[in-house]
């Protein structure tokens, strides 16, 4: 299938300037490359949650399942566990995945289910006109917090690292080349992968100028070192003024939930024992 055939003619209703376009274009290229290399598109299933991001599955000619708010992760888990031959890619928003759906992410990471979760983290509820979300910064002024949010934002990558995720990365909707590289690596990773994307909501929380000044790409970072990953993940806590690292923070081989179910436990180092060792070292 040509790249233009991976997309379709459904009218796109995202606002001009929305960061979702970068994610859509990047995933199209990656799906095309995967198809050419080893994964036919009929072996790919996309899952979306509810929010502006969810429309992404409408714009792609790929098998997909539109789930409900906060539930993209368990639906993706179920599809993968029912058929281990499928590549399952979930899309979710920050309000969706880090709010109502956070417990599902924690358990998918803990189990190391072999799925990829792509989080469109615009740090607001965009579809419902800009209310504060779990990653909105302290002081964020929106429809639900007209005097400024009084909550400290969640650092989702830190939560995911401590939960046992075996692939963690951050992308930015203005850096398409990096997005493509991260998507490909995450989808090919055997285990639970999560990509937190700073996806700018142009209409309700336009952070392009701010992010452009702050982001940098990780270089000479040891992705297998838990302590190093934790340090880099904590560097920017979603509201301080520190530089914002982009790229892969953590990548670890480990037994997947599917392997365990199939009774095919390999000799690969176990996630839990690895985390115990890493935490001991950190302490
Ligand atoms: Fe994109 Fe924000 Fe518009 Fe939604 S409201 S389509 S996230 S710019
Ligand atoms: Mg959002």
Res 249: pLDDT: 98
Q: Is the CB of 145 under 6 A from ligand 1?
A: no
Relative orientation angle of helices 102-111 and 72-82, to the nearest 10 degrees: 30
How close is the Cα of 252 to the center of ligand 2, in Å? 28
User: pTM, whole model, 2 decimals?
Assistant: 0.93
Res 282: pLDDT: 46
How close is the Cα of 263 to the center of ligand 2, in Å? 39
Spatial CA neighbour of 76 closest among 113, 130, 123: 113
Strand partners, 244: 215
User: What are the structure tokens assigned to 266, written together?
Assistant: 């390999």
CB neighbours of 283 closer than 8 A, spacing ≥ 6? none
In contact, 87 and 187? CB cutoff 8 Å = yes
Residues within 5 A (CB) of ion ligand 2:
93-95, 122
Helices (H) and strands (E) in the chain, counts: 11, 10
- Can you tell me which atom of ligand 1 is nearest the CA of 51? 4
How close is the Cα of 34 to the center of ligand 1, in Å? 28
Nearest CA to ligand 1 atom 6: 14
Strand partners, 218: none
How close is the Cα of 31 to the center of ligand 1, in Å? 24
**Cα–Cα distance for residue pair 130/236, rounded to 1 Å:** 23
> Phi-psi region for residue 129, left (φ > 0), alpha (ψ -120 to 50) or beta?
left
- Can you tell me which atom of ligand 1 is nearest the CA of 202? 8
* pLDDT tens digits along 90-138: 999 999 999 999 999 999 999 999 999 999 999 999 999 999 999 999 9
> Phi-psi region for residue 68, left (φ > 0), alpha (ψ -120 to 50) or beta?
beta
**Cα–Cα distance for residue pair 7/5, rounded to 1 Å:** 5
Q: Domain 3-252 in CATH: superfamily?
A: Thiamin diphosphate (ThDP)-binding fold, Pyr/PP domains (3.40.50.970)
**Cα–Cα distance for residue pair 233/215, rounded to 1 Å:** 13
Q: Where are the alpha helices (DSSP H) in 148-215?
A: 156-163, 176-188, 208-214
In contact, 194 and 106? CB cutoff 8 Å = no
Cα dihedral 94/186/76/273 (nearest 10): -100
Cβ burial, residue 16 (10 Å; 0-12/13-18/19+): exposed
How close is the Cα of 18 to the center of ligand 2, in Å? 12
Q: Is the CB of 207 under 6 A from ligand 1?
A: no
Cβ burial, residue 134 (10 Å; 0-12/13-18/19+): buried
**Cα–Cα distance for residue pair 68/48, rounded to 1 Å:** 8
Q: Tell me which residues of the chain have a pLDDT lower than 70.
A: 264-283
In contact, 271 and 253? CB cutoff 8 Å = no
The domain segmentation of the chain, as residue ranges, is 3-252, 256-283
């Amino acid at each position: 299938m040509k790249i233009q055939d991976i997309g379709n003619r459904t009218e796109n209703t995202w606002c001009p300037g929305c960061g979702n376009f970068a994610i859509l274009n990047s995933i199209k290229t990656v799906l095309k490359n995967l198809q050419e290399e080893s994964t036919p598109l009929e072996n790919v299933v996309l899952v979306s949650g509810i929010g502006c991001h969810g429309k992404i599955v409408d714009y792609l000619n790929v098998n997909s399942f539109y789930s409900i708010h906060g539930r993209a992760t368990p639906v993706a888990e179920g599809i993968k566990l029912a058929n281990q031959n499928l590549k399952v890619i979930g899309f979710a928003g920050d309000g969706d995945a880090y709010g109502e759906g956070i417990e599902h992410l924690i358990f998918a990471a803990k189990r190391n289910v072999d799925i990829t979760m792509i989080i469109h983290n615009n740090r607001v509820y965009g579809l419902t006109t800009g209310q504060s979300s779990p990653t909105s910064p302290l002081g964020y002024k929106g429809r639900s917090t007209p005097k400024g949010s009084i909550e400290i934002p969640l650092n989702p990558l830190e939560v995911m690292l401590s939960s046992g995720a075996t692939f963690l990365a951050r992308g930015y909707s203005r850096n398409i080349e990096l997005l493509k590289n991260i998507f490909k690596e995450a989808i090919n990773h055997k285990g639970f992968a999560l990509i937190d994307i700073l996806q700018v909501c142009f209409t309700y929380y336009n952070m392009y100028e701010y992010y452009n000044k702050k982001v940098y790409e990780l270089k000479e970072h040891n992705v297998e070192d838990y302590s190093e990953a934790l340090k880099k993940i904590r560097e920017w806590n979603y509201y301080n003024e520190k530089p914002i690292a982009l790229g892969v923070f953590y990548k670890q081989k480990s037994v997947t939930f599917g392997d365990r179910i199939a009774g095919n436990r390999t000799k690969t180092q176990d996630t839990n024992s690895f985390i115990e060792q890493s935490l001991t070292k950190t302490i």
